[in-house]
């Protein structure tokens, strides 16, 4: 049954990635019909990001009340409805309105699923699941392209993804009996450590001792039962030792990933004088590096623990940035550097999430993962535009230096985290 649920979660991660790259692929076709400027896609993107931040922050409270399975089903269903709404939106303002439930659905399922996997499954599954997300994000534009090339228009691209999400919602609903509630997991451990059952301290050795032994076992059982978990809230999370460090670390990582992907083509055109068509193709190497790296990371986690995997990723990421700063012949520095940055990014995101229950305890991990997701979306939403201002007013050549500053801050936060609470992991 555990493997069956894991298969459902794998499907959910593929589905989670499908809509993420859809707006960018569809916007050139959507914009003329909407009659709005090209830049207005940023407004839709920011509304979606705002919704994901809100739902991520609420994930702790929602999973306690409804459970991860029900929240995942409801979030995927909400996303499916929003995607269909996009396909029938008559104008930009309706599109902006529908973007609200779109973001709420995406953030809720992201935070809930990540924490559930961190508690109940080994680190390798976290890496492979995020690899599945990369596959979904890559397939989304192809589905949109299929709809456009067959004369069906961009609305049908959204409808196809909506249908897939509806099917997944039905699958998740049928799988609900397989999901465990948060209060079912002991506060001191996770399902990964449940294969060692506690040994009773009292054994009945005679009829006279049977009743006393039964009473002792009942008392021990009552003490072992997990106490109901209460939502922490943002203030409660920030008060936890080490929480600020892991949140800043996650903010920096997502800022690096999003900035790298968004500005790669522009850097190659503006700094290396590569043609726009060639640059667009070469920029995909960064995402290829992430996807392939996460597939490889899953195997590496069988030998290395999460903190070691994070350090390996940071080292490879730093190497990629340094390569970009070396004046190699042709465009080798940029191309090799982007691939290495993608490979370096690969293990960091999943291993940070997977290590969260070990650092802070299962009972507090959902609250912290929810705030982590909010920091992730904030980093992805804020930091790429900040570099845009730097590129416009100073120089786009500062692209690798910008990534290097964020990387240094992330490394410092990780080492501070290890010093504060590393003994718990």
The owner of tokens 């919704």 is 51
**Is 200 within the bounds of a domain?**
no
**Same-domain status, 146 and 243:** no
Nearest-angstrom CA–CA distance, 164 and 63: 24
pLDDT of residue 146 exceeding 50, the answer is: yes
Which CATH number covers residue 32?
1.20.1250.20
**Is 418 within the bounds of a domain?**
yes
Mean pLDDT of 235-260: 88
**Same-domain status, 172 and 244:** no
pLDDT tens, residue by residue, 308-336: 999 999 999 999 999 999 887 777 888 89
Query: For residue 206, what pLDDT is reported?
Result: 41
pLDDT of residue 38 exceeding 70, the answer is: no
Nearest-angstrom CA–CA distance, 254 and 245: 14
**Same-domain status, 277 and 355:** yes
**Same-domain status, 147 and 69:** yes
Cβ atoms of 78 and 336 within 8 Å: the answer is: no
pLDDT tens, residue by residue, 114-144: 778 877 777 788 888 878 877 787 777 778 8
Nearest-angstrom CA–CA distance, 19 and 85: 13
**Same-domain status, 248 and 382:** yes
Cβ atoms of 169 and 16 within 8 Å: the answer is: no
Query: How does DSSP assign 9-78, residue by residue?
Result: HHHHHHHHHTTTTHHHHHHHHHHHHHT--GGGHHHHHHHHHHHHHHHHHHHHHHHHHH-HHHHHHHHHHH
Residue 131 tokens read as 């690899």
Q: Show which of 159, 181, 203 is a domain's final residue.
A: 181
- Using CB atoms within 10 Å of the CB of residue 415, give its burial: 0 to 12 exposed, 13 to 18 middle, 19+ buried: middle
**Same-domain status, 251 and 171:** no
Compute the half-sphere exposure of residue 355: CA atoms within 13 Å on the CB side of its CA. 28
Query: For residue 330, what pLDDT is reported?
Result: 73
Number of helices (H), then strands (E), belonging to the chain: the values are 15, 0
Rounded to a whole number of angstroms, the distance between the first and last alpha carbons of the chain is: 28
Query: How does DSSP assign 368-413, residue by residue?
Result: HHHHHHHHHHHHHHHHHHHHHHHHHHT-GGGHHHHHHHHHHHHHHH
Give the domain extent around 381: 238-424
**Is 220 within the bounds of a domain?**
no
**Same-domain status, 251 and 328:** yes
**Same-domain status, 273 and 413:** yes
Query: For residue 81, what pLDDT is reported?
Result: 92
Query: How does DSSP assign 144-206, residue by residue?
Result: HHHHHHTT--HHHHHHHHHHHHHHHHHHHHHTGGGPPPGGGS-TT--GGGTTSPPPPS----S
pLDDT of residue 72 exceeding 80, the answer is: yes
Mean pLDDT of 7-23: 80
Query: For residue 204, what pLDDT is reported?
Result: 35
**Same-domain status, 259 and 168:** no
**Same-domain status, 165 and 262:** no
**Is 207 within the bounds of a domain?**
no
**Is 267 within the bounds of a domain?**
yes
pLDDT tens, residue by residue, 158-194: 899 999 989 989 988 888 888 876 555 554 444 444 3
154 Rama sector, left if φ>0, alpha if ψ -120 to 50, beta otherwise: alpha
pLDDT cut 90: percent of the chain above it: 18
Query: For residue 216, what pLDDT is reported?
Result: 46
Nearest-angstrom CA–CA distance, 283 and 125: 27
**Is 391 within the bounds of a domain?**
yes
Find the angle CA(332)-CA(334)-CA(340) to the nearest 5 degrees.
95
pLDDT tens, residue by residue, 269-307: 888 777 766 776 677 778 788 888 888 888 898 888 889
Q: How many structural domains are present in the chain?
A: 2
Q: Please, which residues have CB within 8 angstroms of residue 375's CB and are 6 or more apart in sequence?
A: 247, 248, 250, 251, 254
**Is 188 within the bounds of a domain?**
no
pLDDT tens, residue by residue, 191-209: 444 333 333 333 333 444 4
Query: For residue 331, what pLDDT is reported?
Result: 79
Name the phi and psi angles at 266, rounded to 5: -60, -40
Q: Please, which residues have CB within 8 angstroms of residue 398's CB and are 6 or more apart in sequence?
A: 387, 390, 391
**Same-domain status, 18 and 118:** yes
**Same-domain status, 324 and 399:** yes
Query: For residue 122, what pLDDT is reported?
Result: 78
Query: For residue 317, what pLDDT is reported?
Result: 95
More confident residue, 197 or 30: 30
Q: Show which of 144, 166, 181 is a domain's final residue.
A: 181
**Is 352 within the bounds of a domain?**
yes
């Amino acid at each position: 049954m555990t493997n069956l649920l894991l298969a459902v979660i794998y499907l959910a991660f593929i589905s989670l990635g499908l809509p993420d790259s859809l707006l960018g692929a569809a916007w050139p076709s959507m914009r003329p019909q909407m009659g709005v400027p090209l830049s207005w896609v940023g407004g839709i993107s920011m509304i979606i990001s705002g919704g994901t931040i809100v739902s991520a922050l609420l994930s702790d409270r929602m999973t306690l009340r409804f459970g991860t399975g029900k929240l995942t089903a409801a979030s995927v269903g909400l996303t499916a409805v929003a995607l269909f709404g996009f396909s029938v939106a008559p104008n930009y303002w309706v599109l902006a309105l529908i973007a609200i439930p779109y973001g709420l659905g995406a953030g809720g399922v992201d935070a809930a699923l990540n924490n559930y996997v961190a508690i109940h499954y080994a680190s390798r599954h976290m890496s492979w699941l995020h690899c599945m997300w990369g596959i979904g994000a890559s397939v989304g534009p192809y589905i949109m392209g299929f709809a456009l090339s067959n004369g069906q228009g961009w609305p049908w691209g959204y409808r196809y993804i909506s249908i897939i999400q509806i099917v997944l919602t039905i699958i998740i609903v049928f799988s609900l009996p397989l999901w465990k509630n948060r209060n079912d997991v002991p506060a001191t451990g996770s399902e990964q450590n449940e294969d060692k059952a506690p040994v009773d301290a009292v054994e009945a050795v005679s009829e006279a001792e049977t009743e006393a032994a039964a009473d002792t076992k009942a008392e021990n059982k009552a003490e072992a039962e997990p106490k109901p978990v209460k939502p922490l809230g943002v203030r409660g999370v920030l008060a936890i030792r080490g929480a600020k460090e892991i949140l800043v670390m996650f903010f920096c990582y997502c800022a690096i990933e999003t900035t790298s992907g968004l500005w790669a083509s522009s850097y190659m055109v503006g700094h290396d004088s590569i043609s726009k068509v060639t640059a667009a193709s070469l920029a995909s190497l960064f995402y290829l590096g992430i996807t392939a790296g996460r597939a490889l990371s899953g195997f590496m986690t069988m030998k290395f623990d999460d903190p070691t995997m994070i350090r390996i990723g940071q080292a490879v990421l730093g190497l990629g940035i340094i390569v970009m700063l070396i004046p190699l012949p042709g465009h080798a520095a940029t191309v090799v550097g982007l691939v290495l940055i993608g490979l370096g990014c690969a293990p960091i995101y999943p291993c940070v999430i997977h290590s969260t229950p070990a650092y802070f305890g299962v009972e507090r991990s959902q609250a912290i993962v929810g705030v982590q997701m909010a920091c992730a979306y904030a980093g992805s939403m804020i930091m790429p535009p900040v570099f845009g201002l730097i590129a416009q007013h100073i120089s786009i050549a500062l692209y690798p230096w910008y990534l290097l500053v964020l990387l240094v801050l992330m490394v410092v936060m990780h080492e501070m985290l290890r010093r504060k609470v590393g003994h718990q992991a």
